[in-house]
Structure formats: structure tokens, C-alpha cells
Amino acid sequence: MRILLTGAAGFVGSAVARLLLTRKDEVIGFDDFNDFYDPAIKRARTQELARLGTFSEVEGDLRIAGDVERAFGKHKFDVVCHLAARAGVRPSLEDPALYIDTNIKGTVHVLEAMHRRGLKKLVFASSSSVYGGNTKVPFGEDDPVIDPWSPYAASKRAAEQMLAVYHHLYGIESFALRFFTVYGPGQRPDLAIAKFVGLIARGEEVPFFGDGKSGRDYTFVDDIAAGVVAAIDRVKGCEIINLGGEKPVTLNEMLATIEKVLGKKAKLKRLPDQPGDVPITCADTRKARKLLGYKPSVTFEEGVRRYVESTRKT
């Protein structure tokens, strides 16, 4: 297959690209290499991908319709996999307009480019953040999502709704995949596990928000990537599908696991809860199992071990 993969240089995108290239698909990546974290890391990933198989990269900005048009070019793509976005709850509080422009307007640019070319298959990266302060666990795709707690969450939910509009109007089929707290080798340095591992390893204070009872459904990046590739192969209709690890891990449990793997105790700096943070995320993955054959296989402790090992190799 020939696949346009936006965000191919990112954490999840590069993992998806590796799987696709391993099975001999052709991948055209699209990224803006912004400075949300070190662009050199992203450029090194695209160089690695080019060595793995038939991969090319188009540099451009989702917010600019002309850049998106250039990425599509004259190619006839079998599937568009739209993973590029501005990510993160806390950064979205600092610059909500950037998140609206990139995640909503940028997604519309992708949909419009598909519509003009008659392309009909789209896989989209959404987020468990859309569930807001949902207290019913596990979170099901049919749960009400009318109370987002951050601009990031609101932008992802709005993008999901645009997918439904384009399915209704133009027959574009889509799977919107709600990722639950992805972690693993190569993850963004601002995310909790990367931050905790680095600070504890260096013997520095760890900012510890709240009482430690908040929980996240951590999902190893290889499990997420396998789910995305399955969606690329099977996208049909217009569906929203959870991709999670199926077992929430509390902040206290996360800290204890990292301490165990590192063999070192943390020095904590206790702080109040952060604005925008939800108390728990927990995925109901029955739909993913049915439609995608999805089955997460990496335990949290094993995933943390793999992440720590990867930091020791760099």
C-alpha cells in the first residue's frame, strides 16, 4: 500500500512507519519539525526510516492548506494516516489558539485534500483526553464526551466530529483512534515517565502532583503502533475506537515501578493537583479487539524497563 502518514517523525508516527516499512508498504511522511521538543530527534528518525524502506518526507505545516496540498501532490494514496498534532494537556493551556489551528483547522485541510482527490480511507489519532472528567470506568466509545477539561481535549473532539461530517457529506471512511497515555522508547521528554526517570536517575527532586491516587491507562508504544496498522488495513465506515493498555496505573504505582527498575528512591517535591488533569483514564477495548484484533501485550513494568534500557543506549 501507499500511505500518507502525517507526523511520521513523531514518537507514535515513527513507530507506525517502522511497522509499515517492515512489511514493504510505501510511506510518505509529512511533518513541520517544530521545536515542541528537539527537532534534531525527529530528523534523525526520518533518516532512519529512509534506510528501512520506501520512505520519503515532505516538510510543511498542517495549518497551511498549501503545504498539505503539496504533501498529497499527485499521489494516489490507499490510506491517509493522520497522526500529526499539537499534543499535551498542559501545553494547550498556555497556547490554546495553536491547538485549535493545528488540530482542528489542520485536520480540515487534510479532509479537504482527500475530498478533492476522491480519497476515501482515513485513520486519525484522537485522545482519551476527550473523556474529560468521566467517572464511569472503563471509558466506552459511546460515553458522553461533552465536558472537555483542556483545549487539547476540545480540539481532538472537534476533529472527531469533522470526520463524521466528511463521512456524511462525501463518504470518507475513518477510524478515530483514542490513544490512552502512550509511553516507551523515544517518548517526548516532557511526559511523566521520561521526566521521572531522568530526575530520579540524576538524584534530583521529582515534582509530584496531588496525592498520587490519580490513574492513567498507560499503553506501550508498540501496542499502539500495532493497533494503528490494523486500523490502516481495516478502516471502514466511521468509527471511534479506544486503544489502551486496559489497566490504569496510579501515580504512586508508576513512581514505585520506576524506583524498582532504576534501583533508586525518588526525592519528591509535593505539589497540588494540576489544572486540566483528570483523575483517571481507563479504556474499554472490546471494540478494538472486535474490529482490529487489538490485544496489548506489554505490561507496564516491562514497558518501563524497555524505556530505561533505551535511555542507557543513547
Active-site amino acid positions? 152
What would the grid cell of residue 306 be? 524497555
For residues 221 and 185, the answer to whether their CB atoms sit within 8 Å is yes
Task: Identify how many contiguous H helices and E strands the chain contains and give both numbers.
Answer: 12, 13
Task: State whether the Cα torsion 233-239-245-251 is positive or negative.
Answer: positive
> What is the rounded distance in angstroms from the CA atom of residue 153 to the CA atom of residue 305?
30
Those residues with Cβ within 8 angstroms of residue 273's Cβ, 6 or more apart along the chain or in another chain:
209, 210, 214
> What is the rounded distance in angstroms from the CA atom of residue 8 to the CA atom of residue 30?
6
Alpha helices in 55-105 (DSSP H): 65-72, 89-94, 96-99
> What is the rounded distance in angstroms from the CA atom of residue 260 to the CA atom of residue 247?
19
Amino acid at 167: H
Strands 215-216 and 173-179: unpaired
What DSSP line would sit under 188-245, residue for residue?
-TTSHHHHHHHHHHHTPEEEEETTS--EE--EEHHHHHHHHHHHHHH--SEEEEEE--
Residues, the chain, total? 314
Most distant CA atoms of the chain, gap in Å: 56
